Amino acid sequence: MEERIGLLWHRVISRGAERRYPDAAAPLTAVAKTAGILFRAMGGDGGLQVRAASAVEHGARRRWRERIAGAGRKAEFAWIDGETLYLPSVLDVLPRRELNHDLYLWLIALAAAEPGDSLPWLEHNQQASLRVFARYPGMAPRYQRLREAVMALRPSPERLPADEAAQERLIRQALVRPGSVAALPLARRLFFPVWLWLHPFPPHGDPAASSASALPAAGRRERSRQQEDFRRRQAERVSAPENKHGLMMLFRAESIFFLSDYVKVSRSMDEDDHPPAARNADELETISLTRDGESAASRVRFDLDLPSAEEDDTPLGEGILLPEWHYRKQAHQPDHCRLQPMAAVKAPPCVLPHRLAPVARRLRSQFAALAPARVWRKGQYDGGELDLDACVQFTADRRGGVLAPERGLYRAHHYRDRDLACLLLADMSLSTDAWVSDQARVIDVIRDSLFLFSEALSATGDRFALYGFSSLKRNNVRFHGLKAFAEKYDAAARGRIAAIKPGFYTRMGAAIRHASHLLEREERGQRLLLLLTDGKPNDLDQYEGRYGVEDTRMALAEARRRGIRPFCVTIDETANDYLPYLFGVDGYVVIRQPAQLPRELPLLYMQLTR
């Protein structure tokens, strides 16, 4: 009976406490694909990606029901930093779904129109609103509808204390006439959240980012997590407790741990997920991180060390110095990276794997139709044989008195040639060691793709080259030669393909620059650079996040200026977040089922070069 009454009481209190409309909720996932495109189309920074914001305490006055139910303490605000546009994971603050959807569009437009100078929060949002109205007058009616709905939900100034009422009146005035309010008076409590504006106190920086470069990436990813949680968590860095107590200590009631208290726990090395721990982490408002002297990553670091000279591939030469783009300085850093060409040591010649033979035969027969062939051209003024159709037509016109213009009466042989060259650049980073099925890893899928791609192009006679790459910081960008343009695709090339293995990290910019240099030497009418990858650019040093994306984008722009067409083939489920910025809307394709990549890649090449 007590439990029933408790549940009934909770239901009654919670129902009247929440200022939310779950039936009219608009989730971020519904606009995630278009949010980035709309943000860039409205003049926002093209390098930003879209993520869900975390809920924070707003500190405003709550109604008595909210206080009893413990509800309404937190809110999700939109804000941007140097790399990401953060939007609420769900908008359910307005009574109709279309209004919540329009609120997403307005927040995106507001973030894209942010003034460049650092203004106080109140002026900042007002100036951004005016910029949106000036650029896109069609947003004004949508804003008016949203403003009316938001104003109806705000607390009435008559029911607030004098200091909070003065704040509320000025906020309402700023919403009605943006630019008319310069500052807010002080009050004992913070104002109620303004859903039409950006975060009043946006976080700056990530406390854990300073040590991110010291932690090696694990490389393996669970391919079953297609819908990974991408909400931003709040974090803080704290000092590890000294923990110098002896075995005997007096018990004190305040020493009982809560969920949010720090506890020194020995974690497993198996990278296994712990569902209760994950749920508890989601419930924490702030996750505290610390570092002690016992590094749990030491074994991983050892695995990621360079192999011994006996086990490693053979370096060819002293390496090639290449520049790298620093987007904050807006300048190239000359000779910043060292690209090291590599040759496999243990790569004996081999035949095509038997399981791929039927598919290879079918592809060769399809691609044979694209091979150079000798065809007759009619109506030529010079040639090896008379064109009988043209001669008969010319004689009939003359005898019939038709004044026909002179035409070619010969036919000649013409060789139909495909004037193109293709370089396929395969990602061989450690992330390719992840499993895509019970039978194959990503690297196995890439290996089969290279086999079938080579078999298909050998039937056409097209000039092509195959290379793989990985990296371990900027002085060791490893560039593996599998087949050069001048080499034949034979048993030796198949042996080098069969010997590929997962490497280290993914410094794309340097690999693309060198591949473009090799492709530029090919004097062909069409030059295609195919990038085969499973993730974003990354490395142990600063080549992470925005830095790596911007350097890769600059390397691709340099390739286009050389007359090279870059195209990306990826199996990364999150590729739509960053590949449109790198390759353009039509410059990439996402293979949803990685196991189908070996069959899809040759057919994709046929479409690109048709």
The span from the CA of 198 to the CA of 207, in Å, is 22
Position 271 confidence tier, pLDDT thresholds 50, 70, 90: very low
Q: 262 in a domain, yes or no?
A: yes
102 and 113 fall within a common domain: yes
Domain that holds residue 233: 218-237+249-305
| Tally of CB atoms within 10 A around 421 | 23
Task: Identify the DSSP state of 233.
Answer: P
Count of structural domains within the chain: 4
- Write phi, then psi, for 428 (nearest 5 degrees): -120, 35
Tokens of 418: 């495909």
Please tell me the distance from the alpha carbon of residue 598 to that of residue 452, in angstroms, as a whole number: 6
Shared-domain flag, residues 294 and 339: no
* pLDDT single digits (tens) 156-173: 999 889 999 999 999 999
CA 236, CA 207: separation in Å to the nearest integer? 5
Q: 88 phi and psi, to 5 degrees? A: -55, 140
Are 430 and 445 in the same domain?
Answer: yes
- Tell me, yes or no, whether 49 lies in a domain: yes
pLDDT in tens, 562-598: 999 999 999 988 888 788 889 988 899 999 888 899 9
Say whether both 429 and 461 belong to one domain: yes
Report the percentage of the chain scoring pLDDT > 90: 41
Of 264 and 438, the structure prediction assigns the larger pLDDT to 438
Same domain (yes/no): 158, 38: yes
Q: Are 567 and 424 contacting, i.e. CB atoms less than 8 angstroms apart?
A: no
In a domain, 29, yes or no: yes
Please tell me the least confidently modeled range out of 4-13, 175-184, 542-551. Answer: 4-13
Residues 507-521: pLDDT tens digits? 999 999 999 999 999
What is the reported pLDDT for 21?
83
Distance separating alpha carbons of residues 376 and 608, to the nearest angstrom: 27
Give me the mean pLDDT over the 162-185 stretch: 92
Q: What is the pLDDT of residue 248?
A: 47
Domain check: are 527 and 399 in the same one?
Answer: no
Task: Please tell me the distance from the alpha carbon of residue 519 to that of residue 515, in angstroms, as a whole number.
Answer: 6
Kindly report, residue by residue over 320-359, the tens digit of the pLDDT.
Answer: 999 999 998 999 999 999 999 999 888 999 999 999 999 9
How confident is residue 478, by pLDDT bands cut at 50, 70 and 90?
Answer: very high
d(CA 109, CA 196): 11
The beta-strand segments (E) located in 195-330 are 235-237, 287-289, 314-315, 320-326
Same domain, 351 and 430: yes
Taking CA atoms, 62 is separated from 119, 191, 392, in Å, by 29, 11, 97
Kindly state whether residue 106 falls inside one of the protein's structural domains.
Answer: yes
419-473 pLDDT per residue, tens: 889 999 999 999 999 888 888 999 999 999 999 999 999 988 889 999 999 999 9
Statement: residue 269 has pLDDT above 50: no
**Is residue 139 a part of any domain in this protein?**
yes
- 331 CB-contact burial (10 Å; exposed 0-12 / middle 13-18 / buried 19+): exposed
Domain presence at residue 213: no
Among 345, 515, 355, smallest CA distance to 427 is for 515
Which pLDDT score, from 0 to 100, does residue 209 have?
38
pLDDT band for 298, please (50, 70, 90 cuts).
very low
Q: How far apart are CA 34 and CA 203, in angstroms?
A: 25
Last residue of a domain, one of 305, 333, 353: 305
d(CA 416, CA 420): 12
Tokens representing 350 are 């081999």
pLDDT tier for residue 97 given thresholds of 50, 70 and 90: very high
In tens, the pLDDT along 375-388 reads 667 777 777 788 88
The answer to whether the Cα torsion of 60, 65, 67, 73 is positive or negative is negative
Identify which has the larger pLDDT, 552 or 386.
552
Does residue 115 carry a pLDDT above 70? no
pTM beyond 0.85: no
Q: What CA–CA distances, in Å, run from 522 to 11, 106, 373, 425, 530?
A: 72, 49, 22, 16, 15
Q: Do 566 and 510 fall into the same domain?
A: yes
Distance CA 16, CA 601 (A): 57
Residue 540 three-state SS:
coil
For residues 466 and 511, state if they share a domain: yes
Return the pLDDT at 212.
36
Top pLDDT among 112 and 70 is at 112
Q: What is the CATH number of the domain that holds 600?
A: 3.40.50.410
Question: Is the model's pLDDT at 533 over the cut of 80?
Answer: yes
Last residue of a domain, one of 146, 161, 176: 176
Decide: 257 and 469 in contact? Cβ < 8 Å.
no
The count of C-alpha atoms lying within 13 angstroms of the C-alpha of 545, restricted to the half-sphere facing its C-beta, is 14
Closest CA to 529 of 488, 559, 493: 559
Q: Is residue 189 situated within a structural domain? A: no
Q: Is 283 found in the same domain as 333? A: no
CB 202 within 8 A of CB 79: yes
Instruction: Let me know if residue 296 belongs to a domain.
Output: yes
Is residue 267 over pLDDT 90? Answer: no
- Report the relative pairing of strands 410-416 and 477-483 from DSSP bridges: unpaired
Q: Residue 559: is its pLDDT beyond 80?
A: yes
The model's pLDDT over 364-373, given as tens digits with 9 standing for 90+, comes to: 988 887 776 5
Cβ(285)–Cβ(234) below 8 Å = yes
Consecutive H or E run containing 6: helix 2-17
In this structure, are residues 464 and 457 in contact, taking their beta carbons and an 8 Å threshold?
yes
Euclidean distance between CA atoms 530 and 515, whole angstroms: 10
Identity of residue 52: A
Mean pLDDT (the chain, rounded): 81
> 596 and 506, same structural domain?
yes
Q: Is residue 300 predicted with pLDDT exceeding 80?
A: no
Radius of gyration of the chain (CA): 32
If asked whether residues 488 and 600 sit together in one domain, one would say yes
**Ranked by mean pLDDT, which of 119-123, 267-271, 308-312 comes out on top?**
119-123
Query: 292 is written with which tokens?
Result: 């002690």
